[in-house]
Amino acid sequence: MAHLVPLVFVALWSTGFIGSKAGLPYIEPLTFLVVRFAIATPLFVAWSLAVKAPWPRGRQALHVAVVGAALHGVYLGGVFVSISWGLPAGLSALIVGMQPLLTAAIIRALGEDVTPRQWLGLGLGFVGVGAVLWEKLGFEGIPLVAVWPSVIGLFGITFGTLYQQRFCRNVNLATGGVIQYAAATLVLVGPMFAFETRAIDWTPQLFGALAWLILVLSMGAISLLMLLARRGAAAQTASLFYLVPPTTALMAWVLFGEVLGFLALAGMALTAFGVYLVRKS
């Protein structure tokens, strides 16, 4: 079962793009995230009470809040704002897809060993992700200002996962989720009121997207990410994010009929091989 956790995580995390694509036509990006987190928080409270989970206290609770603000608030907020400002989703995914390389560079500077084989795997994985997304990047007419939120999101998810691994390894997933989503809501609620109208078109599609993103992403995939960060090395955990764009592309092919060319298929194979090199014991 332990060997299946990374595969399940990649499959669940990859559905985030599908759920977002279904819901964003009916709600603004930061409002979407605040509503999602505001619903997820009491669900995690109910989970915590049901299993009588221990609560982080003092400095430990502050560490968990930092992870939530970075991982959910800064990362997701940055990506959603970039896309709403005109950045193609493929290019945003490529920017955030640099996370494994950035993670490896940081942990190398901090003293964690990254072998030459792992560096090779990280490089091949990034090239493979670029190949998968190349036909969808659409560089023409992109406002430069739309790039920076995704860059900020890249640093948010990198910092959040490293911080989680360093300070929050033993935090309970249920009570930790309460603090994380409450912190992310506080981070985004100010910009939401400042820059958005907060108009919502409550369609069945939006309800379905919210339900999926809350139950499958916020409660399922994020909990698996926290579990992986506890049990694996930082470079190994980060390398899994290389598998997300190819998996999302496959889902988009099945659900929306988006074409997969030879370059994309070759990129998927190269990405999988790169991740294998990083995670090979």
pLDDT per position in the chain (281 positions), as tens? Answer: 667 788 888 888 878 777 777 888 899 999 999 999 999 999 999 999 999 999 998 899 999 999 999 999 999 899 888 877 877 666 677 777 778 777 777 776 666 667 787 778 777 777 777 776 666 655 556 677 888 888 899 899 889 988 988 888 888 889 999 999 999 999 999 999 999 999 999 999 999 999 999 999 888 888 888 777 776 666 667 677 777 777 777 776 777 666 667 776 777 777 777 777 776 65
Angle, helices 262-279 vs 116-133, to 10°: value is 160
Q: What is the pLDDT of residue 123?
A: 79
**Measured torsion, CA atoms of residues 51, 70, 3, 133, in degrees rounded to the nearest 10:** 140
Residue recorded with tokens 């409550």? 202
DSSP type of residue 231: H
User: How many CB atoms neighbour CB 251 within 10 A?
Assistant: 16
Residue 132 to residue 266: CA distance in whole angstroms = 8
Q: What is the pLDDT of residue 6?
A: 81
* pTM of the predicted model over 0.85: no
Q: What is the pLDDT of residue 91?
A: 67
Which amino acid, 203? T
Residue 98 to residue 105: CA distance in whole angstroms = 11
Give the burial class of 97: count Cβ atoms within 10 A of its Cβ; 0-12 exposed, 13-18 middle, 19 or more buried.
buried
Q: What is the pLDDT of residue 90?
A: 64
Residue 219 to residue 230: CA distance in whole angstroms = 17
Residue 6 to residue 183: CA distance in whole angstroms = 26
Q: What is the pLDDT of residue 142?
A: 63
Q: What is the pLDDT of residue 96?
A: 79
Q: What is the pLDDT of residue 89?
A: 66
